[in-house]
Amino acid sequence: MNSLATIEKEIKRCKKCELWRSKTNYVPGEGSEKADVVFIGEAPGREEDLQGKPFVGNAGKLLTEMIEKIGLSRKDVFIGNVLKCRPPNNRDPLPEEIEACSPYLIRQLEVIEPEIIVCLGRFSASFIFELFGLEFTSISRVKGRVFKVKAWGKDVSIIALYHPAAILYRPQLREKYEMDFAIIGSLIGKNEKVKKMTNSTLFDYLD
Ligand code: URA
Ligand code: SF4
């Protein structure tokens, strides 16, 4: 039977790629099985590897702040990654690692059936876009745009954003990043600032 707990148990004994050897802890992801919004990163970093939890380092602090700004908390959403083990020195994921690990993420999504999938960074975005039959060009082209797909018999919105670590390196992007998160807030109807925007303003922005 599929539940987040059973998937987590399987992840914690996984040896399907070589990354299990060098990791400290598996990082299956965490949050609500009933989450409307799922955030997907690339792979655990140093702090995540040490704690066994997703997005708990500096990038994670920024992500948590953004989630709270749109009126949600970490436990309302689900936060996961494409890879569940940290690549040595945070190197980019290899195609074979993504292939080996991504079935866990797909099963997690099938359990949660979220309304909104937020891809953080290009590895997450290119994987999710392909999974849902969307064309992925580059993160800078697709970022902040809402793509509607049908999944689990309902409308699902897919949004790609820069990885929060990229915003830590380029603080000048932060204001725009907050606007991108406000879009997520508007989709769940919780963001007063965006709700006050006229539809045409929002449309211009989305364009
Ligand atoms: N970066 C990611 O992509 N995922 C994490 O969990 C932490 C940092
Ligand atoms: Fe298994 Fe994924 Fe870890 Fe590889 S990265 S060992 S596939 S859990």
The number of distinct structural domains making up the chain is 1
Half-sphere exposure of 45 (CA within 13 A, CB side): 11
Q: What is the pLDDT of residues 176-204, one digit of tens each?
A: 999 999 999 999 874 444 444 434 344 44
Given ligand 2 and candidates 15, 107, 123, which is best to mutate, with the most ligand atoms within 8 Å of its CB? 15
Domain range enclosing 51: 4-205
CATH label of the domain that carries residue 144: 3.40.470.10
Ligand nearest to the CA of 30: 1
Q: What is the pLDDT of residues 28-69, one digit of tens each?
A: 999 999 999 999 999 999 999 999 999 999 999 999 999 999
**In angstroms, what is the span from residue 29 Cα to ligand 2's centroid?**
13
Query: Of 175, 174, 82, nearest to 121 (Cα)?
Result: 82
How large a percentage of the chain has pLDDT more than 70? 91
- pTM, entire model: 0.91
**In angstroms, what is the span from residue 104 Cα to ligand 2's centroid?**
9
**In angstroms, what is the span from residue 67 Cα to ligand 1's centroid?**
15
Q: What is the pLDDT of residues 85-117, one digit of tens each?
A: 999 999 999 999 999 999 999 999 999 999 999
* 122 has pLDDT over 80: yes
Whose tokens are 């436990």? That residue is 75
Q: What is the residue with the minimal CA distance to atom 2 of ligand 2?
A: 101
Pairing of strands 154-161, 146-151: antiparallel
Half-sphere exposure of 207 (CA within 13 A, CB side): 6
